[in-house]
Amino acid sequence: MKYHASLAALLAVTVTLFAAEPAPAPTRPILGVDRAYMDLAVSPAKDFYDYANGAFNHVAIPGEYASYGVNQEIDERSFAILKDILETSAQTGGPKGSIAQRVGDLYAAGMDEAAIEAAGLKPLAPYLAQIEALAAPADIAPALGRFFTEGVDSGFRFGVQIDDKNSTAMIAGFAQGGLGLPEREYYFRPDEKSADIRQAYEAHIARMFALAGGPPEQAKAQAATVLAFETKLAAASRKLVDLRDPEKNYNKFKVSELAGVVPGFDWKGFLAAVALPASEESVLVGQPEFFQAFAELTKSEPLDTWKTYLRWALLHQSANYLGRAFVDEAFAFYGKKLSGRTELRPRWKRVMAAADGAIGEDLGQLYVKRAFSPEAKSRALAMVKFHLEAMRNRIKSAGWMSEATKQQAYRKIDSMRTKVGYPDKWRDYSSLEITRDSYVGNAIAASAFEFRRQLAKLGQPVDRTEWFMTPQTNNAYYDPTQNEMCFPAGILQPPFFDEKADDATNYGALASTIGHELTHGFDDQGSQYDAQGNLKSWWTDEDARKFKERAELVAQQYEAYEVLPGLHIEGHQTLGENIADIGGLRVAFEAWKLATAGKQLASIDGFTPEQRFFIAFAQGWRTNQRPEQLRLQVTSDVHSPIRWRVLGPVAVFPEFYEAFNCPPPKETWPAIW
């Protein structure tokens, strides 16, 4: 999905046992500006989303999807290529250790339903035995560490990342986690809908324990235990808004200090189990108060509670790799209840997503040969160049910003790096053994491989060539610690980008990609990182105050939007993405003007070039969402729902109103960028 991760994450990206799932087949050609999707009876000033996409609003969402639109249409073309790669590799194979062998064997294992059913829970037996063998509270920390090395996250998050305040170094870090519901507030909201979800979640846990062989009454009691335990974790967790403050979440301690900062947890046992190198003197602890509460739970909660919780964590994260009963049960809650989907996606798509998560750059090497030309890469890089120039102009014209701060901002733009299409250096999976013997075994092996790969970064220079998305991914990101943007080949596809399309279409459609990611470097989070990627203030106090004043107006703008009856967007939770959406559109519009300066631009299909720019932008978000998905997004996501990612940016954009000859809005407020 085009949600664009900003990568201001607390921990480095790691492979998990859950992977995103793909989408349905397109029914018609994909064009940048398509009249068939528009409702020209709607005033663009009244509802520009419906003006551009009103006819598409009536398209039914296929049962297997929580939302359906342009992203899924784009994805399907990539999935067709990937399916052919996977099936061909599974049929022909390759020498042991080759890309074809790994890709083919992982896909074959995932598609062998009979073998998966026959194996049952046997692949998990060693891990269940480890849990059962816990004999005392002192065993908990080492057990958690061992689980992390196998890719099973329990209780919290642990990984390796760039040090936010020393962007040339890698460091190990800890962050809150351990919840099965989307985020902490799901455990506490008093409304009827939230209570219903908690009840359904508890029933889901009970059914999972029953599927694992537990008697019904025991499974029910275990589910209550898990929910009560997770509620205690949630109570100690920070809210989403607080997790967006990088300074507050940067807490660096000496390893020798951990026992004093968070007493009661066996740090020595945990760090030995994960094999943290003895040379690592410091770690980051994102939310110390969470870990203090977590340490208390290792003493206050009965050992049986911990065993029950760890069994649940293992079943929860393995479910989609087990037999059909586990897959169906996981889908019943996470797919149907939370997202509103009514049908499970075809198995080949689910296995393909798992392969993408496990050996994504193996697939990527084969994918880009067929889906991304050198000409496309060249044109995309040229577009980035104009966006950077446009952002520089936006900063120059920002009357509220002092010259001293502008000079620092220019340095950040001049230092920004761009990755387009695919990596220059491919990831080496040669030490990862993939076989046709066990699907869940392959998933665990891939997670363990990724954990070791991440840990090996400690003590090494930061690898600036590494990608945090696979080339076939339909998404993009900005990483503040590396001050870089990344645009995989999977998103540089029609209608977002077409090397043969007119500039108005390409710049408009990619406003929510290139312009968006670039603006992330100057949103409420990215603006706290300097040109070298260090979490360091480069603003004058007065400029910082003015920035926050304008940001607060953006928060108020979005909080006024009612998504469902009584459900409004949370303006501060979504602030960074909203700033990037608004600024991204403005930057893209100026970049388009720079790219076409001196050119004669003609109307096409009855629309002026300016109108085509804005229509392409709006149609780039063309999507229908289920009410359940809307509610889930508003309550657990840092992005605004899709309709408002169009309406918000054009709300106070003079060039938009001029393009459609509409009266300007009655209410206006100053832009940030």
**Does residue 310 sit in the same domain as residue 380?**
no
Instruction: List the alpha helices (DSSP H) in 397-437.
Output: 403-415
Kindly state whether residue 23 falls inside one of the protein's structural domains: no
Over the stretch 558-585, which tens digit does the pLDDT of each residue have?
999 999 999 999 999 999 999 999 999 9
Q: What is the reported pLDDT for 666?
A: 84
Q: Which of 177, 114, 397, 461 is nearest to 309 (CA)?
A: 177
User: What whole-number distance in Å separates Cα of residue 565 and Cα of residue 285?
Assistant: 39
Q: Are residues 587 and 504 in the same domain?
A: yes
**Phi and psi of 47, rounded to 5°?**
-155, 90
- The CA-atom distances, in angstroms, between 64 and each of 56, 74, 100, 352, 624 are 18, 17, 30, 16, 13
Residue 430 domain-assigned (yes or no): no
Q: Are strands 477-479 and 484-488 parallel, antiparallel or unpaired?
A: antiparallel
Closest CA to 446 of 1, 9, 12, 19: 19
Of 289, 318, 347, the domain-final residue:
318
389 and 279 in one domain? no
Q: Please give the pLDDT value at position 10.
A: 31
Asked if 312 and 378 sit in the same domain, the reply is: no
97 lies in a domain? no
Q: Which of 512, 505, 497 is nearest to 604 (CA)?
A: 505
pLDDT tens figures, 34-91: 999 999 999 999 999 999 999 999 999 999 999 999 999 999 999 999 999 999 999 9
133 in the same domain as 242: yes
Asked, for residue 182, whether it belongs to a domain, the answer is yes
> What's the whole-number average pLDDT of the chain?
94
For CA atoms 323, 338, 106, 276, give the dihedral sign.
negative
528, part of any domain: yes
Q: Which of the four pLDDT bands, split at 50, 70 and 90, describes residue 667?
A: confident
| Model confidence pLDDT, tens digit, residues 333-386 | 999 999 999 999 999 999 999 999 999 999 999 999 999 999 999 999 999 999
Q: Is residue 30 part of a domain?
A: no
Task: Read off the pLDDT of each residue in 413-440 and give the average, rounded to a whole number.
Answer: 97
Cα–Cα distance measured from residue 228 to residue 225, given in angstroms and rounded to the nearest whole number: 5
* Among 318, 337, 355, residue at a domain's last position: 318
Residue 415, pLDDT above cutoff 70? yes
Q: 251-264, pLDDT tens digit by residue?
A: 999 999 999 999 99
Q: Give 668's pLDDT tier (boundaries 50, 70, 90).
A: confident
- CATH code of residue 643: 3.40.390.10
* CATH number of residue 245's parent domain: 1.10.1380.10
Higher pLDDT, 13 or 238: 238
What confidence tier does 28 reach under pLDDT thresholds 50, 70, 90? low
How confident is the model at residue 463, as a pLDDT?
97
Indicate left, alpha or beta for 564 from its phi (over 0: left) and psi (-120 to 50: alpha): beta
Number of H helices, E strands in the chain: 26, 11
* 641 in a structural domain: yes
Chain segment 544-559, per-residue pLDDT in tens: 999 999 999 999 999 9
**Residue 18 pLDDT:** 31
Distance CA 377, CA 422 (A): 9
pLDDT by residue (tens digit) across 601-660? Answer: 999 999 999 999 999 999 999 999 999 999 999 999 999 999 999 999 999 899 999 999
Residue 651 corresponds to which tokens in the numbers above? 């709300």
Q: Are 417 and 313 in the same domain? A: no
333 alpha carbon, distance to own chain's centre = 21
Q: Are residues 145 and 279 in the same domain?
A: yes
pLDDT-based confidence at residue 145 (cuts at 50, 70, 90):
very high
Do 398 and 283 share a structural domain? no
Does residue 223 belong to any structural domain of this protein?
A: yes
Last residue of a domain, one of 299, 318, 337: 318
**Residues 299, 410: one domain?**
no
* Number of domains into which the chain is organized: 2
Domain span at residue 574 reads: 372-425+466-622+634-659
Average pLDDT over residues 292-307: 98
| Statement: residue 9 has pLDDT above 60 | no
| pTM confidence score | 0.93
Looking at the fold, whether 499 and 647 belong to one and the same domain comes out as yes
Which residues are within 8 A (CB) of 630 and not within 5 positions of it... i.e. 6 or more apart?
563, 564, 567, 641
Q: Are residues 495 and 378 in the same domain?
A: yes
Are 612 and 525 contained in the same domain? yes
Residue 85 tokens, joined:
């790669």
Exposure string over 150-173, b if 16+ CB within 10 A, otherwise e: bbbbbbbbbbbbbbbbbbeebbbb
